[in-house]
């Protein structure tokens, strides 16, 4: 199963890189970056975006883990919100606070209230990043493009893990 999950994640990442390169070659960097952001957050295209992966997940489901080494859906959402918010602050011209913790500390286990809040927060962060990119200058977009590409691949990687958990447990939609 791990090999299938890893293959899915790799194919998703390659699709994002391919889309980014194609958009940049056509001189449409802003449109390409915005489409990547939307594809990783809300627009279901080649793969399920974050919004689709977390919608309909209960707090109990969001806390489920198969082993202590693997993360829950809630932990993955917490991790994405943490790092994506730091990117957003940077794009807004603000220095993110110093981070002294380990990456592991960003995978927080969430209770029911926190699960609902993280879903809203993650969606808000993603939409704000789209807004900032939409209003970005050509110079900013050139500077931000590598970060946006990595952010979208990171989102797709962890969203694939969320979808895998949902499918494994029969929590995914019936027609998929």
Q: What is the mean pLDDT of each run of 10 residues along the chain (176 residues)?
A: 47 49 60 96 92 96 91 97 96 91 91 95 97 95 97 97 96 75
- Contact present, 83 and 154 (Cβ < 8 Å): yes
The CB density around residue 124, as the number of other CB atoms within 10 Å, is: 13
Tell me, what's the pLDDT at 19? 47
| DSSP collapsed to 3 states, 84-121 | HHHHHHHHCCCCCCCCCCCHHHHCCCCCHHHHHHHHHH
Tell me, what's the pLDDT at 165? 97
The rounded distance, in Å, linking the Cα atoms of 117 and 131 is 21
Tell me, what's the pLDDT at 26? 36
> Phi then psi for 89, rounded to 5 degrees?
-60, -45
Tell me, what's the pLDDT at 25? 44
Q: How many CA atoms lie within 13 A of 72 on its CB side?
A: 19
Q: What is the pTM of this model?
A: 0.82
The rounded distance, in Å, linking the Cα atoms of 72 and 110 is 9
Tell me, what's the pLDDT at 42? 93
The total number of residues shown for the chain amounts to 176
């Amino acid at each position: 199963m791990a090999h299938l999950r890893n293959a899915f994640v790799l194919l998703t990442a390659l699709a994002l890189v391919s889309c980014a390169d194609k958009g940049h070659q056509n001189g449409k960097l802003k449109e390409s970056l915005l489409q990547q952001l939307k594809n990783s957050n809300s627009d279901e295209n080649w793969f399920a975006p974050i919004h689709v992966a977390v919608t309909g997940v209960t707090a109990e489901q969001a806390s489920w883990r198969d082993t202590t080494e693997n993360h829950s859906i809630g932990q993955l959402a917490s991790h994405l919100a943490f790092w994506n918010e730091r990117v957003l602050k940077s794009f807004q011209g603000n220095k993110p606070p110093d981070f002294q913790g380990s990456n592991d500390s960003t995978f927080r286990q969430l209770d029911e209230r926190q699960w609902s809040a993280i879903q809203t927060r993650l969606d808000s962060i993603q939409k704000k990043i789209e807004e900032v990119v939409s209003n970005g200058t050509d110079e900013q977009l050139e500077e931000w493009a590598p970060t946006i590409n990595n952010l979208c691949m990171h989102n797709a990687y962890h969203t694939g893990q969320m979808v895998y958990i949902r499918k494994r447990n029969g929590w995914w939609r019936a027609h998929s």
